[in-house]
Structure 1
């Protein structure tokens, strides 16, 4: 049993020397009078709260393998989970995980985020839910409804960790914030936000995706959502049931996908995300980090070498059968004229579609991640860069494939698709051990096992290798193609 600021909690019976305490509320339910507001402190409860099951997940339409689905009426969605060794020697470093999912789907209850294996390395592991979609990131035209509510939820969870994690054997001033995809960019945003200052010492960002939204895009999306199946004036959105906003959001995504004239959102209609509002988040975090906003926070960056092939595998990409479509894609994103031809030279015989997947994956994840590490180093911070390139036996090193390895959960049936469809090999399990050890070392001391700066890049694989061992992505050629490209907050 554990004492928290809101009351006592009791978790599951220990497994492999680790206790899991699940579904602990860290803020009031964000509905009713609290809807679209900043998170509010949790009202204390009496007695002992049984925390043996994950809490309800935030409103969304996704149904993910092995994870619970959202049910309309579930409101107590701002919860977190703690995995703690029962025989830890002394206070332990803490790792806090923010899940990805395009700021629209996912939860802390996904099996690949089980913290047991990481906790066995000597960490206290925390995973959390936060508001997604319109609830967390939609523009609400009211003074009392701040932007970036999902980020504010994450800050509230970190404040809970600061105030309560010692009861679980964790060190409140040795916290590492980690995330993947939208969760990685959330963590990087928090690095650069004044409101999160002092709540963590280090950040792990796997496949950070950029850039964030400009306010004009957030307002544009809200106008379309308010008109799509709701329909109401934007000022009346607080009275619309969450399930109606989820349906309207899905309808807007479908509209963008069908409209080739809709610019960047036609190609991958992620319609919600952090907004560079000039106050809570002053600019894209890449620019803020380059200006030294977080030079006192250590940063560990990783991206996969074939990020966008996952989107092809799950059927969420656009058709790009011709060079004409490929160049239309490049024009919509303002890519440098020689860039596509440069990829073609590096990928002889590749189809326009495969070129599109390679360029889009690097645009959204690979190049953005690399620039984060470089900008942080140039600003005086410590940054470690790595890539995930497990591609043996025809398996692709695509988006999300690295997460089960870093968590040490490659044997879980629900992650089989992410890691290539076959049962993990002994080499895969050894890779998972190396990646969990790197996370544990970084969280404990700031040392993942290789040198900071651009001099050494760890390439995770079976086996690991040096970054200059011959793969076309390892050299400077790909990076040079992006030299003249500038990331700016997205406007369309």
Structure 2
């Protein structure tokens, strides 16, 4: 066991069984519990402690209803939810590059304790890896009206938590062997959108020099839509949509009310865009904390000094269909309603039909919706950043697997166990199609190495977006040669335009 000293106190870590050269420390508080008098407020510094804190266990997860494989669930009364974990091959003063991971989960579920986010393999590549919890759902992203005393609660409290964690890293990571001036912030899905938001936030300026975004999601709320969701959640919780009413509801009551609102949209086929995937929370763009949505901000010059690495999978939305969280669009009539709800052109649907001859309507819907939410949006983030003068790198995950008579596609989340080097974790076998083979481990090593190289130097190993090549790295067990299939789908979006979605 090894003891490290932070500015708040000493913490004891343990060498990992997978790699004795790596020490892991779990459950270190980076901010005070965001409840009681601090509920709905900006994060405050964590209290110092005496003696040596044991870093053996992950901290409590944020309030949520999800039960994720291999990860702890939230229990009422769990309050010290703003904690982080560190995997390090260093001992202090080593100047190692740092990777800070922000988990996904539609801004309502997930935690840093998920087994696919174990940082041992990446630390073995010479990184100090930090993973963190942050406020989710209404606690983190719900709009809270001002109280009677005139004080207002900030929007995007979950993003402010992430900034607090990055500030903690800047102040303390040298003690764990990391370089405070060489930090990469990374995330997937909602976590990737959070990364893109941090790039657009003045409060996060200077806290990281590089960013990795896997499958960023096209969904930022407006102040108006966020206020509307607050009213719906408050009604479902049986409280007034005021500060006093909302603070009187327990965190569990707001989780249940949020689930009820989402379920109502899911069950109502005439409820518009939210029917297809009722993710009711997202970063609120257009206010003090986040003036612009990430794609608009990427076209500006504010984050041109941050290197950006983007990846998406080529069959994103098939996962959401497989786990039953998406609408079943199986007829041409339903597909036409879907297109009308999102103001998609008939020409765009025709382009997908032509590129997917003989495919059922459901597959056409999943392809279009997945690209609209994730694939095309992620690609445009990279391209907009490059046009604004920043360095951006683009990659696609295309690896499929057939096993036990059932195909596992290159779907949402499947790339992350590869990049983290955690293919042998049983909890990820559903995502990757069972136990890995030799070619899978080889692909994982290449992806892990690319992350490590990018975090260390800003160069993942292929050309940046721009110039005459616009190179895209393809992640597949068959090799890394460019695949033009996705570019054919992208042509339809270039003609039709990409709608910015509002949860």
Larger CA deviation: 318-327 vs 92-101: 318-327
Distance 1:74 1:329 in 2: 40
Residue 299 (1) aligns with residue 279 (2): no
How far is 1:2 from its partner? Answer: 1.0
Give the counterpart of 1:408 among 421, 425, 447.
421
- Inter-partner Cα distance in structure 1 for 2:166 and 2:478: 36
Match for 1:466 among 481, 491, 494? Answer: 481
Q: Which runs of 5+ in 1 are unaligned?
A: none
Aligned partner of 1:194 in structure 2 is 202
SS of residue paired to 2:371 = helix
- 1:174 aligns with one of 175, 182, 201: 182
Q: TM-score, normalised by structure 2?
A: 0.95
C-alpha deviations, 1:433-472, integer Å up to 9, x for none? 000000000000001010101521100010223224x6x3
| 1:81 maps onto 2:78 in alignment | no
Q: In 2, are the aligned partners of 1:202 and 1:443 still within 8 Å (CA)?
A: yes
Q: 1:31 and 1:278 mapped to 2: Cα distance?
A: 23
Distance 2:32 2:289 in 1: 21
Count of residue pairs the alignment pairs up: 487
- Asked if the contact 1:211/1:487 (under 8 Å) is kept, the reply is no
Quote the residue 2:270 is aligned against.
Answer: 261
DSSP 3-state at the match of 2:430: coil
Aligned counterpart for 1:288 among listed residues 297, 304, 320:
297
Once the 2 structures are TM-superposed, how far is the Cα of residue 321 of structure 1 from its aligned partner?
A: 1.7
Using a 3 Å threshold, how does the CA distance of structure 1 residues 346 and 303 change in structure 2: closer, same or farther?
Answer: same
Residue 7 of structure 2 is matched in structure 1 by 5
Deviations 1:171-204 (A, max 9, x none): 0000000000000000010011101000000000
Q: 1:148 to 1:485 in 2, by over 3 A?
A: farther
| SS of alignment partner, residue 221 of structure 2 | coil
Aligned-partner SS, 1:338: helix
State how far apart, in whole Å, the 2-side matches of 1:233 and 1:182 are.
26
Mapped to 1, the partners of 2:438 and 2:82 lie a distance apart of: 38
State whether structure 2 residue 342 is matched by structure 1 residue 333.
yes
> Which of 102, 109, 114 matches 1:105?
109
Instruction: Kindly indicate whether the alpha-carbon contact (under 8 Å) linking 1:59 and 1:242 is maintained by their aligned counterparts in 2.
Output: yes
Between 221-230 and 108-117, report the one with greater CA deviation. 221-230
Match of 2:472 among 444, 447, 457: 457
**Which whole-Å CA distance do the structure 1 matches of 2:52 and 2:163 have between them?**
26
**Judging changes above 3 Å, is the alpha-carbon distance between structure 1 residues 486 and 149 closer, same or farther for their aligned structure 2 residues?**
farther
Question: TM-score, normalised on structure 1?
Answer: 0.97
1:478 aligns with 2:489: yes
Aligned ranges 1:46-195 → 2 under 5 Å: 46-86=50-90, 90-142=94-146, 143-195=151-203
Q: Is the 8 A contact 1:185 1:209 kept in 2?
A: yes
Residue aligned with 1:23, SS:
strand
Question: What is the CA-CA distance between 1:43 and the residue it aligns to?
Answer: 1.3
Instruction: Write the distance in 1 (CA, Å) between the matches of 2:490 and 2:52.
Output: 55
Whole-Å separation in 2 of the counterparts to 1:8 and 1:144? 36
Q: Whole-Å Cα distance in 2 between the matches of residues 33 and 138 of structure 1?
A: 17
SS in structure 1 of the partner of residue 346 of structure 2: coil
Which deviates further from its counterpart, 37-46 or 85-94?
Answer: 85-94
